[in-house]
Structure formats: C-alpha cells, structure tokens
Amino acid sequence: MRRDGPPPVPTRPTASTVLTTLKAQSNPARAVFNQGFFRTGPGEYGEGDRFLGLTVPQSRAIAKAYRALPLAEIEKLLASPYHEARFVGVVLLVDRYRKATAEERDELAAFYLAHLDAINNWDLVDVSAPQILGAHLAERGDARLLYDMASSARLWDRRVAMLASWAFMKRGDTRPTLRLARQLLRDPHDLMHKAVGWMLRELGKVDEAALRTFLDRHARAMPPTLLRYATERMTDSTRQHYLTLRRTARR
C-alpha cells in the first residue's frame, strides 16, 4: 500500500532507504505517462530512462526529509537508473550547495561537474545548473567554462551551459547569456531552442533594450520556437514585429 508521505528518516539514512521511500510512493500509471512525457523511447533524448511515477512535490518532500544524506549516498542516488532518485539527488545537492561554505562550494561544484552524466534530462538540468554551476561561476565572474560546454556534442552539457547563465543575469551580468545565445542560435535540438529562448526572455526582464538589440540582429535567423519563447513577455505588437521579421526573411 502506498504511503501518503515519507516514513520517519533513519538515524543514518542511505541511498537505499531513499529508494525504498520512493518506491513506496510509486504510481505505475504515472510512470508510464512520464516515460512518454520525458521521451524515453529508442532514439529519443531520454532513451532508456526509468520512472517510478512520483510527482515533483512528492520527490521534493522526500528530498527535504533526507537533507542529512551524506554526499557519498547522494552519489549513489545520481547513479540510480530511476529518474526520481536522480532528481532527489540533484535537489539535495542544490540544497547542500546553498548552505555550504566557500570551500565546500568549490568541492560541490567539482562534484557536480564530475557527475554531469547523471544530469541527463531537461528537468534535472533546469533544477540544478543555475543553482550550482551557474552560481559558482557567477560568484567568480568567469563564464569561460560555459562557452566550452556550449560546444559539446552532448545535448545536456549545452543546456547546462545556457541555463547556468541565468545566475550571471541575477547578478546583473547579461554578457554570458548574450554570448551563449549567439553561440547556440542554430543548435539543431528543439530543447535548446526552448532553453535559449527562455534565457533571452529572462534577459528581457533585466535589460529589455539588450534583448531588443539582440532580436533586431538575429530574429530573422532564429528557429520559430526560440523566437516565440524569447518574445513571450513582450507586448503583442512588439512580438508580432519580430515574428514578422522572421517570416519575411524566410520568403
């Protein structure tokens, strides 16, 4: 019988107890749905991933209950074949980074980079890249690693790079986002079109003039999904202006 919430946490929690807790709240019907939603079929971006069928609030509640989980056990969660286990591991890592000392943050950022193979779907990227790698690099004012990652053949490395630039914008530095958006403007993957467009939309909240300048130069060459995301918060007339620029350029 499935529990409504996580059971009492053992004195010495392990990855195994976290997985037991996750499985106690599994939902086979939702697991099947998630397999499709996260594109786990042959040749798809989430190929081979396995789900237990928990909701995000359920997974976050379990992560909150296991905040004291040692880093070595978090590493085991990140190695799990179950998506929700990796999600909990990533959320725990974000929480740990947020509370860490400067020295501990160096170690946690290195740990994150060493385990990027576990960050292998868009939700895992989005919940962690700005909060760990982005925050770490923005604090140092050095985005060079992100430019290297944006050239990776691995989709998730490129998405990590783009999302990590959000942390720079939150500090008022829009340069990494603009450079990465130019670098990734013609990325072939739809998930990158969404990521770049999303970060450009966030750029507009910080510096609308910079966004308009970028769109003036590049809207004609943008994939439609990217442009729609980037202009989503603009006025209808401004948005239509940029959409028309793109349509006209395609004739």
What are the residue ranges spanned by the domains of the chain? 1-101, 129-251
Structural contact between residues 111 and 71, judged by C-beta atoms closer than 8 angstroms: yes
What span, in angstroms and rounded, lies between the C-alpha atoms of 46 and 121? 6
Complete DSSP assignment for 137-176: HHHHT--HHHHHHTT-SSHHHHHHHHHHHHHHHHTT--HH
In CATH, the architecture of 129-251 is Alpha Horseshoe (1.25)
The model carries a pTM of: 0.93
Fold: same for 1-101 and 129-251 = no
Angle made by CA atoms 22, 154, 147, in degrees to the nearest 5: 115
pLDDT digits (tens, 9 = 90+) for 67-77: 999 999 999 99
**The token pair that represents 207 in the structure block:** 């510096």
Residue 247: predicted pLDDT: 81
Between 1.10.10, 1.20.1660, 1.10.3470, 2.30.30, what CATH number should domain 1-101 receive? 1.20.1660
Q: What number of CA atoms fall less than 13 Å from residue 71's CA on the CB side?
A: 15
Question: Per-block average pLDDT, block size 10, for the chain (251 residues)?
Answer: 57 92 97 96 96 98 96 98 98 97 96 98 98 98 98 98 98 97 97 98 96 96 96 95 86 61
